[in-house]
Amino acid sequence: QLQMVESGGGLVQPGGSLRLSCAASGNIFRLNAVGWYRQAPGKERELVARVSTDGISRNYLDSMKGRFTISRDNAKNTVYLQMNSLDSEDTAVYYCAARRDYTWYDGTHSLGPYQYWGQGTQVTVSS
C-alpha cells in the first residue's frame, strides 16, 4: 500500500515555473513506477510524464518535452515534476500515481495498473 501526498500547485503567470512534489509513504515505493497525470475542465485525464522505479527511464507527452522534467528521489520517497514555460493550456489538476513493477527471473518486467493515486493539486496559469 502506498499513500501519495501532493504539493506545489498554485497560481502562476504565463511563462512561469512550478515544481510539484509527490511524497509517498510505504516501504514498497521503490518497487513502483510513477506517473504524473493532469485533467483540465471538460477534458479527459492524460498522462503527461512517467518515471521508472530506478529513475533512469523517463518519458513525456510530446507537448511537454523540453518544458517538464520528472525525477524521483527514492531515499526521500518523493517524485517531482518541474514545470517550466507554463502556458494557460497547462491549467489543470495534476495527480501523481504509482504502479507496481514486478521484476521476473529472466529480467523482464510486468507493470500493474496505476493503483495508488494522490489527491491532486491545482495548477492555474493565468495573468
Take residue 107 and report the three cell numbers written for it.
Answer: 529480467
**Which pLDDT tens digit goes with each residue over 70-104?**
999 999 999 999 999 999 999 999 999 999 999 89
Classify strands 46-51 and 92-103 as parallel, antiparallel or unpaired.
Answer: unpaired
Question: For 11-27, b where at least 16 C-beta lie within 10 A, e where not — what string?
Answer: ebeeeeebebbbbbeee
Model confidence pLDDT, tens digit, residues 38-66: 999 999 999 999 999 999 999 999 988 79
Helices (H), 42-111: none
